[in-house]
Structure 1
């Protein structure tokens, strides 16, 4: 019985530590936002990869300030977004609009429409680094 209790205690400790050291991408899954990775491929440029992600924002959902270790190219599939990019005035984009975010620029996005909003994000990033770094 004592061994069983030790095993459970060890499992709880390991699980707690795993949560503490979870990568930024997992921490960034915010309420009302669903990220679906569509593809990931090495580029002909050594050390770089392209990642495409569909990001669904429920009505009123926002993704806080963050950055990427490379460029982000956004194509709005549906809805209306407001983007705040470091050093620029906020911009509203609707379906069919695009936005380029330079490497390392802190930015945030919010669904400001009356229904779900969806974007296709293409990242050209350094391979092996977390795709997303949340800001405090």
Structure 2
């Protein structure tokens, strides 16, 4: 199976798309660097989270593995885009690129701008792609 045939799940931290790259065996040109037997990496195009393993299959399996949610069925989210108006309940990626925080309040009603704000997400109803806040839930 080639790297092109491997399907990767979205990033577990920001939901961004992931890219798989294979690194063939090679000799480093820097003095005292050992021979590299080959590896494969996965990196998120959004937050740049990544991992490395010996083969493309191994790194893809590790990337696609998700821990079960401690609260059972975890809520589903979608990433915000430039056409979204920020709502109460939206969350933004913290500086540590791991934790999500709610809005301070003054941002509600503003047009989401991914250049000025970190990645944003909105909870969606599990039965559809409609955000819970748009169904009258809060």
The two structures have a TM-score, normalised by structure 1, of 0.26
Specify the structure having the higher radius of gyration (Cα): 2
More helix by share: 1
More strand by share: 1
If asked which structure has higher relative contact order (CA below 8 Å, sep 6+), I would say 1
